[in-house]
Amino acid sequence: MLDWDDIRVFLAVAKAGSTAGAGRTLRVDPTTVARRIAALETAVGARLFDRSRDGYVLRADAAELVEAAAAMSREAHLFDSRAQALARGVDRLRVTTNEPLANAIVAPAIVVFQAEHPEVRIDLVVGPGQLDLDRGEADVALRAAPEPGPGDLVARRLADARWAVYCSRAYAARHGAPAGVGDLAAHTIIATGEPSSLHLAARAPDARSERRDTMNDLVIAVRAGQGVASLPCIIGDPHPDFVRCFSQDEPVTPVWLICHQRLRHTPSVRRFLDLVAEHTVAARPVLEGRG
């Protein structure tokens, strides 16, 4: 009987071409990787790699084993995700989204849902990162992204999040608020790596630009009067200290409601999805900058 751990190591070495590279991927010592490969070759009864100073080269007659190992890896991930979901059960939902969508949409939907289903626990994970629903890291996501993500997922595009350029009221009083891209040369653009920031900076190459790491850092900088920034309307418009300078035609970020295929017909999950969808549709004016 072959050991799955040995096959997992085989796949990593085949992809990396060395025990060191595979060790970094698997977070194990290269010596352990080499020992696992030797054990697998003994179990199979055939040599799978040619060793050289440059690393491990997959033998031609072993190439067909890579796809079989990759298929086993996919099935193992699927088993793991379904086992995690089974462990949590339908009495618990793990929901992921970012902070603006959590505050405006998901949190109010949770209040209504838990009044109807007090037996279901909601774990809300809020942050800029995207949890992997296909691997069981979350059950439901409300996500602002160009695409909903890979995997066996059911996704509904419920709205479009639009962006605009903002400054603080104090900044506008001191420097004036730019009325369009042509006015930005006289201002400092505070940007992150978001597509909206990159798009704005590209359209105003003569403007001074400063970088921040996160959206929260961007909001703090604008509130402090350090410059102007491209922000989602759902963040900028409700802020009492912000002035919308002008709207941006691009980018437009789709808002997706996502769940795993296996959960779509569970009554409590369907009810939760319906509530989030209702709250998202109700928030479209704010998301689209019409609020």
**Residue 81, pLDDT above cutoff 90:** no
Q: Containing domain of residue 225, as a range?
A: 163-247
Q: What is the largest CA-CA distance in the chain?
A: 79
On whether both 74 and 40 belong to a single domain, the answer is yes
**Between 61 and 2, residue with greater pLDDT:** 61
On whether both 152 and 177 belong to a single domain, the answer is no
User: Which pLDDT score, from 0 to 100, does residue 114 have?
Assistant: 92
On whether both 73 and 20 belong to a single domain, the answer is yes
**Between 200 and 98, residue with greater pLDDT:** 98
Query: Residues 270, 155, 269, CA angle at the centre, nearest 5°?
Result: 15
**Residue 269, pLDDT above cutoff 80:** yes
pLDDT digits (tens, 9 = 90+) for 276-290: 999 999 999 999 988
On whether both 175 and 211 belong to a single domain, the answer is yes
Query: Residues 41, 44, 46, CA angle at the centre, nearest 5°?
Result: 60
**Between 92 and 271, residue with greater pLDDT:** 271
On whether both 180 and 36 belong to a single domain, the answer is no
On whether both 243 and 213 belong to a single domain, the answer is yes
On whether both 131 and 269 belong to a single domain, the answer is yes
pLDDT digits (tens, 9 = 90+) for 139-173: 999 999 888 887 778 999 999 999 999 999 999 99
Query: Does the residue 266 lie in any domain?
Result: yes
On whether both 105 and 174 belong to a single domain, the answer is no
Q: Choose one of 84, 114, 138: the last residue of a domain.
A: 84
On whether both 151 and 39 belong to a single domain, the answer is no
Domain of 203, CATH number, reads 3.40.190.10
CA 24 to chain centre: 23
Buried b (16+ CB within 10 A) or exposed e, 110-132: beebeeebeebebeeeeeeebbe
What is the token pair recorded at 61?
A: 């007659």
Domain of 20, CATH number, reads 1.10.10.10
CA–CA separation, 128 and 143 (whole Å): 10
Report the number of distinct structural domains present in the chain: 3
Query: Considering the chain, what percentage of its residues have pLDDT values greater than 70?
Result: 95
Residue 55 backbone class (left: φ over 0; alpha: ψ -120 to 50; beta: rest): left
pTM: 0.64
Strands 208-211 and 188-191: parallel
On whether both 152 and 274 belong to a single domain, the answer is yes
Q: Choose one of 84, 115, 147: the last residue of a domain.
A: 84
DSSP string, the chain: ---HHHHHHHHHHHHHSSHHHHHHHHTS-HHHHHHHHHHHHHHHTS--EEEETTEEEE-GGGTHHHHHHHHHHHHHHHHHHHHHHHHH-TTEEEEEE-HHHIIIIIHHHHHHHHHH-TTSEEEEEESSS---GGGTS-SEEEEESSS--SSSEEEEEEEEE-EEEEEEHHHHHHH----SGGGGGGSEEEE-SSHHHHHHHHH-TTSEEEE-SSHHHHHHHHHTTS-BEEEEHHHHTT-TTEEEEEE-SS--EEEEEEEEGGGTT-HHHHHHHHHHHHHHHHTHHHHTT--
Q: Choose one of 62, 84, 106: the last residue of a domain.
A: 84
User: Which pLDDT score, from 0 to 100, does residue 236 have?
Assistant: 93
Residue 174: band (very low, low, confident or very high) from pLDDT cuts 50, 70, 90: very high
pLDDT digits (tens, 9 = 90+) for 117-141: 898 999 999 987 888 888 888 999 9
On whether both 79 and 100 belong to a single domain, the answer is no
Residue 262: band (very low, low, confident or very high) from pLDDT cuts 50, 70, 90: confident
On whether both 258 and 149 belong to a single domain, the answer is yes
Query: Does the residue 291 lie in any domain?
Result: no
